[in-house]
Amino acid sequence: MKKYATWLMATATIGIGIWLGSSFITTSNANSQLGSADDPVVTKSYVDQQIQKALGGGTSGSVGSTTTNSGTKNNTPTTPVSPPATTPASVTPSPVATPTLTTKVVEIRPGKKLIAAAGTEVIVRTGKAIVYSSDKNGILDLTAGSEMGGSQAIPNNHLLLFPRDGRGVEVAMTQGYNATVLVIGDYKIQ
């Protein structure tokens, strides 16, 4: 019986110790507030300042006294440090200007073809259209992730990409109504 009481007392002591320890941790975490020494808030200006110091530029935009290597104060104002004029190689802008592309809504009448330039994107919104291609190759249906050959029916609301010139969208002469398409890029109607 004495052994049982000893085990019971040891288990209770360990349990109470764990409970008290966890309550102290919870209380200390609850008392820390944002911006305090326990949970500091770092601002962008502070990070920029620390980066400038790490790069050897000192603090940017600071005016006033600075400490020299010998530990004496220098009361001459410091000049603001500008970031380097060069940009990293991975961020250098391309010398080729990229055109701004706009989306155009185009109506294609029955018997007519929209011939797209290379890189043009088209979405057939309404009507029934088929792929026009002067050779056996076709266009890319990016929505379905497949290639479409000549004279194949184009599903509505699928994004089509024209990899080469001379391919397009055609509305059959037997069709009784126009097809409405959205075009991003260059095209011509034939």
Residue with tokens 């002591």: 13
Residue 59 inside a domain? The answer is: no
Q: Name the DSSP letter for residue 127.
A: S
In a domain, 17, yes or no: no
Top-confidence residue, 72 or 23: 23
141 belongs to a structural domain: yes
100-115, pLDDT tens digit by residue?
678 999 999 999 999 9
Q: Kindly state the helix (H) or strand (E) to which residue 158 belongs, with its residue range.
A: none
Mean pLDDT for the chain overall: 78
Range of the domain at 137: 103-189
For residue 105, the model assigns a pLDDT of: 94
Q: CATH number of the domain at 124, please.
A: 2.60.120
Asked if residue 27 is part of any domain, the answer here is no
Cα-flanking dihedrals φ and ψ of residue 22, to 5°?
-70, -35
pLDDT at 169: 95
Question: Count of alpha carbons within 13 Å of 189, Cβ hemisphere only?
Answer: 12
92: pLDDT confidence band, cut at 50, 70 and 90? low
> What pTM was estimated for this model as a whole?
0.48
Domain total in the chain: 1
Report if residue 77 sits inside a domain.
no
Which of the pair, 169 or 24, is modelled with greater confidence? Answer: 169
Provide the β-strand partners of residue 106. Answer: 181
Digit-coded pLDDT (tens) for 124-177: 999 999 999 888 788 999 999 999 998 899 999 999 999 999 899 999 888 889
Distance CA 190, CA 188 (A): 7
Residue 118 in any domain: the answer is yes
Each as own residue / partner, the long-range contacts of residues 142-145 (CB below 8 Å, 24 or more positions apart, any chain) are none
